[in-house]
Amino acid sequence: MGTVQWNKVSESDNSGKIGFLKLTSGSTYRIRPIYYPTGFFKYFYKNKEGKLRTAICMDPDTCPVRARHPELQKPSERFVVYVIDRADDKLKIIEGGKPLFRPLGSHFEATGANPGGTKDGSDWMIKVSGGGIKTRYDTTFLDKTPLTKDEQDMIRNAICGDIKNSLSELFKPDTPEQIERKLFGEFTGKEPENGSGADDIEPEVADAPSASAENSDMNW
């Protein structure tokens, strides 16, 4: 799906590595979204050995892998967004479904203010409870928090590229061959097994796209 409007819906350093903020049941987080979320469709498949495997598909309605494997559930609609984790003021990535992000979308629709905007963005609190398919995310608006110059500089240094496209590149769809290998191929032990929530799995860090002359600014 790529970058989407809000109503559609681990640490970092200056080396182009951005961690995932893993949301754990029983914990509370304060985050500051950055820019807009990026949407995609993700398979979750538990193999015979009980290993949870994931892959990203282009279109769940036309994916040939699902047609060949009737045991596959329809891919879940997922979203990712850059956030500043107020626990350490580092840039991270959060992944989740619509329930996690829906309050931000409602805020955008009601006020016209982008929760991830440079000037009109805001801090949010996320409380996580339950587990598995019963995981609950209580996402609450806290304060309007324009980004400071230091925060903008930190984001530019961490992303090293165009914020409009970087998450779409990191979460681009797998080819049918890649989906087959990720879901049904031999488990190598290198696949990520820990995620941001009870039903997620994600890599520990993501490589930010390299900067280029025409893409060196966030272009907000």
Q: 90-105, pLDDT tens digit by residue?
A: 999 999 999 999 999 9
Of 42, 35, 41, 43, the closest CA to residue 4 belongs to 35
Sorted by sequence, the CB contacts under 8 Å of residue 21 that are 6+ apart come out as 10, 29, 31, 83, 85, 92, 93, 94, 196
Q: Mean pLDDT throughout 148-169?
A: 88
- Say whether pLDDT at 210 is over 80: no
Fold that domain 2-201 belongs to in CATH: Replication Fork Single-Stranded DNA Binding Protein (3.90.198)
> At 191, which amino acid appears?
E
pLDDT digits (tens, 9 = 90+) for 54-113: 999 999 999 999 999 999 999 999 999 999 999 999 999 999 999 999 999 999 999 999
Question: What phi and psi values does residue 156 have, to the nearest 5 degrees?
Answer: -60, -45
